Amino acid sequence: MLKILKYSFMDLMRSRWSYVYFFFYLVLGFVLFFLNSDVTKAVITLMNVIIVLTPLIGTIFGVMYFYSSREFTELLLAQPLKRRTIFAGQYLGVSLSLSMSLVIGVGIPFVLYGIFGSTAIWDFSTLMLVGAFLTFIFVALSFNIALAFKDKIKGFGFSILMWLFMAVIYDGLFLLSMMIFDDYPLDKLALGATLFNPIDLSRILILLKLDISALLGYTGAVFKNFFGTGLGLFLSLSLLSVWVIVPAALMLRQARSKDF
Amino acid sequence: MRLRIQKLLAILLLFSGVLSATSRVVGPQEKIKTIAEALAISAPGDTVFIQPGTYQEETIYIDKPMVIIGRGYPVIDGMNKGYVLEVRSDSVTVKGLLLINVQKSYTKAYAAIHVYGSKYFVIEGNKLRNSFFGILVERSKDGIIHGNTVMGNAVTEQSSGNGIHAWHSDRLTISNNHVEGMRDGIYLEFVNNSKIIGNVSRNNIRYGLHFMFSNDDLYLKNRFENNGAGVAVMFSKRIDMRENEFMLNWGSASYGLLLKEILEGEIVGNTFNKNTIGISADGASKISFSHNNFDNNGWAIRFHGACYDNNIVNNNFRHNALDISYKGPMNGNIFDQNYWSEYAGYDLDKNNVGDVPYRPVKLFSYVVNKTPETIILLRSLFVDIINFSEKVSPIMTPDNLKDNRPLMKPVKINDRS
């Protein structure tokens, strides 16, 4: 498995898109600091970008990689290798290289502008951790979709739809249902609904560090009591892990019985 | 003519005071060992110096005009029995004492220094520790409370007292005091024509400063930090609030400044930084908000109902999660020439005034007002999208709630920092 991981990883490291992705974050980081040299504010702006963009990139990259390396996968399948090792290796290779582009790309400007001496170091590390988690989650989801559809167009279409659903539509439905049922106590529902969407969960995790003042408004106390404590942080991080493990396991299961 | 006689009398009185006043020294090594003893043998207008040391005395009554000065902060221990100092006469000065251990009570407001029915009193440079109420002033006039430090460790509202508490008084000056860890830092009820200047009030469990039924007061250059809520101004008229700092008032029902049934005030040059709600206005009318900084708050200003004819002009709104939350029709409130950090318009004629009006109430802010739980969707992509579409064509938010002349650059405000 490690060999395949290494191969996928090196393959991607040599690919143009990894560099584009890496340079995009590098430039984004420097532009943020060029406009405003306050580390804390840069973290806020970056949050907006990361919450939306890492899932999108993870999704598209995952699908793209899967389809373009299909022939190589078929070649590997002919070898005496477990399917599990092949797909797990590819999955980890893609996710790791994307996470690395993100962390290094954003990390360099932040380190240069003195993140280590700043109080925002924890916010920044949470942001990076969340970014990596989102990458892992969405690559796994997109692999699932790519495995399910042989047709590239269909695969792309569904993965974009999946991203759109998680990033936008889910929140829309969520907002709508809260407005319709606003005669009922909603804090539990709101809490539950955020747990079922990794993007929302990540957003709340970071918001709690940055926009605490707004979230502390009179209903925010519930959220704060849940997410703000050590237990809440532990729970949200384990939920994010569940979001990685379940789609990855599903993907492996699907791969085991798939007819190539 | 009458005035001249008065002046003459005053001068005469002054001289007679100088001529007749004697000073006594109290101390462990002196002839007079207790303060009560010294006061008993003093005549009006005398001065008592207190040497360093610890004095365990039950309630000390001061019933004649006197000056009491502590040298090197002598400790006066109330031994948890009632008030420590009772000032019951005009023209009393108390300086440089360290007062500790005031009795706690659920029925009486025991205080370290209790001033009752006094005029021209001065309480200056004292330190108060473990006092139930700190300085309690009732039915008094023309007093000065300056440079005192009140430190408490309040836990609940019921079992704690206020740092400086004034009731039914006129023309007080409360300046440069430091109040920490009490219930209310400074509490004023039925106190008119008074000045509250340069105080620091922090870590109090209820309000930093609390006005009730007090008119024509000025508070200037105070700092309110990390209190349950910064300042509450209730049922008062013509309060002048200038150059104060409201910081870090965080909590589920917390705000920098609460305005409740306020008429004709002025709020000028204040800084609101990192509060859950900068200003919460409920029934506030004819108030002019200008040259204030609202930075990094959850909400900069929340207008609840019954706010009429307020002018919000020349303020800076920077990086607040939501700038304005508003209920009901416009009611003559005006937003004009403010700087909004989220303003995305342009200024073609370069006159520092944006050419497109700014709408400070976003659709999301309107939604949150209706269903508060939706705040959890703050900064999500969906919310950005609906805010944008509302900005392009407003449907839900009040149509004329806008700043027609938003500024392109922040208003310059004389920062003291």
Distance (Å, whole) CA B76 – CA B101: 9
A49 lies within 8 A of chain B by CB? no
Would you state the pLDDT for residue B200? 94
Fill in the DSSP letter of residue A74. H
Contact B379 A47 (CB under 8 A): yes
Note whether B269 and B246 are within 8 A (CB).
no
Interface residue of B373, B378, B389 to substitute, partner A, most A CBs within 10 Å: B373
Contacts of A211 in chain B (CB under 8 A): 298, 321, 378-379
Q: Express each pLDDT in A154-201 by its tens digit.
A: 999 999 999 999 999 999 998 888 888 888 887 778 888 888 899 988
Q: In a 3-state reduction of DSSP, which class is residue B96?
A: coil
Question: Which of A181, A182, A201 is CA-nearest to residue A192?
Answer: A201
Q: Of A89-103, A202-216, B317-331, which range is least confident? A: A202-216
What is the arithmetic mean of pLDDT over B248-264? 85
Interface residue of A169, A173, A175 to substitute, partner B, most B CBs within 10 Å: A175
Contacts of B380 in chain A (CB under 8 A): 51, 171, 199-200, 203
Distance (Å, whole) CA B366 – CA B324: 9
- Does the structure show a pLDDT above 80 at B267? yes
- Does the structure show a pLDDT above 50 at B416? no
Would you state the pLDDT for residue A169? 93
More confident residue, B188 or B380: B188
Here the tokens at position A110 are 């932040």
Look up residue B273 and give its amino acid. Answer: N
CB nearest to A213's CB, from B274, B374, B383? B274
CA–CA distances in Å: residue B398 to residues B223, B327, B384, B401? 35, 9, 19, 5
- Does the structure show a pLDDT above 60 at B13? no
Contacts of A203 in chain B (CB under 8 A): 379-380
CB nearest to A219's CB, from B319, B321, B373? B373
B379 vs chain A: nearest CA distance in angstroms?
7
A200 vs chain B: nearest CA distance in angstroms?
8
Distance (Å, whole) CA B404 – CA B412: 20
Q: From its phi and psi, is residue B248 left (phi > 0), alpha (psi between -120 and 50) or beta?
A: left
What is the arithmetic mean of pLDDT over B1-25? 64
Distance (Å, whole) CA A69 – CA A67: 6
Would you state the pLDDT for residue B215? 93
Burial class (CB in 10 A: 0-12, 13-18, 19+), B325: buried
Here the tokens at position A4 are 């395949």
CB nearest to B370's CB, from A47, A182, A213? A182
Q: If you measure CA to CA, which chain B residue comes closest to A179?
A: B371
Contact A178 B379 (CB under 8 A): no
CB nearest to B375's CB, from A167, A199, A215? A215
Would you state the pLDDT for residue A117? 75
- Does the structure show a pLDDT above 90 at B276? no
A249 vs chain B: nearest CA distance in angstroms?
29
What is the arithmetic mean of pLDDT over B99-116? 89
Question: Which of B257, B365, B290 is CA-nearest to residue B320?
Answer: B365
- Does the structure show a pLDDT above 70 at A221? no
Domain boundaries, chain B: 49-334
What is the arithmetic mean of pLDDT over B332-361? 89
Contact A178 B381 (CB under 8 A): no
Would you state the pLDDT for residue A156? 94
More confident residue, B230 or B328: B230
Contacts of B390 in chain A (CB under 8 A): none
Contacts of B297 in chain A (CB under 8 A): 213-214
Contacts of B275 in chain A (CB under 8 A): 213
B49-334 adopts what CATH topology? Pectate Lyase C-like (2.160.20)
Q: If you measure CA to CA, which chain A residue comes closest to B251?
A: A216
Confidence of residue A63 (pLDDT cuts 50, 70, 90): very high
Contact B298 A217 (CB under 8 A): yes
Interface residue of B376, B383, B384, B386 to substitute, partner A, most A CBs within 10 Å: B376
B298 vs chain A: nearest CA distance in angstroms?
4
Burial class (CB in 10 A: 0-12, 13-18, 19+), B148: buried
A200 lies within 8 A of chain B by CB? yes
A211 vs chain B: nearest CA distance in angstroms?
7
More confident residue, A219 or B165: B165
Q: Express each pLDDT in B352-391 by its tens digit.
A: 899 988 888 888 888 888 887 788 888 888 888 888 888 7
Backbone angles phi, psi at B332, to 5 degrees: 75, 10
Residue with tokens 């409201």: B246
Note whether B368 and B345 are within 8 A (CB).
no
Contacts of A40 in chain B (CB under 8 A): none
- ipTM field: 0.83
Q: Express each pLDDT in A125-155 by its tens digit.
A: 888 999 999 999 999 999 999 999 989 999 9
What is the arithmetic mean of pLDDT over A37-53? 79
Contacts of A196 in chain B (CB under 8 A): none
Note whether A147 and A114 are within 8 A (CB).
no
Here the tokens at position B116 are 């009752």
Contacts of B252 in chain A (CB under 8 A): 216-221, 224
Q: In a 3-state reduction of DSSP, which class is residue A85?
A: helix
Here the tokens at position B179 are 């109040």
CB pairs under 8 A between A and B: 104
Question: Which of A211, A229, A170, A217 is CA-nearest to residue A43?
Answer: A211
Distance (Å, whole) CA B300 – CA B279: 6
Note whether A211 and A41 are within 8 A (CB).
no
Task: Give the angle subtended at the CA of B46 by the CAs of B39 and B92, to the nearest 5°.
Answer: 80
CA–CA distances in Å: residue A33 to residues A19, A124, A206, B41, B295? 21, 14, 20, 73, 20
B331 vs chain A: nearest CA distance in angstroms?
26
Q: Which ranges of A115-197 does DSSP label H, i.e. alpha helix?
A: 121-148, 152-164, 170-180, 187-195
CB nearest to B377's CB, from A48, A52, A171? A171
Would you state the pLDDT for residue B417? 41
CB nearest to A48's CB, from B250, B276, B379? B379
A203 lies within 8 A of chain B by CB? yes
A190 lies within 8 A of chain B by CB? yes
Q: If you measure CA to CA, which chain A residue comes closest to B256?
A: A213
Strand partners, B32: B26
Would you state the pLDDT for residue B52? 92
Q: Mean pLDDT for chain A?
A: 85
- Does the structure show a pLDDT above 60 at B12? no
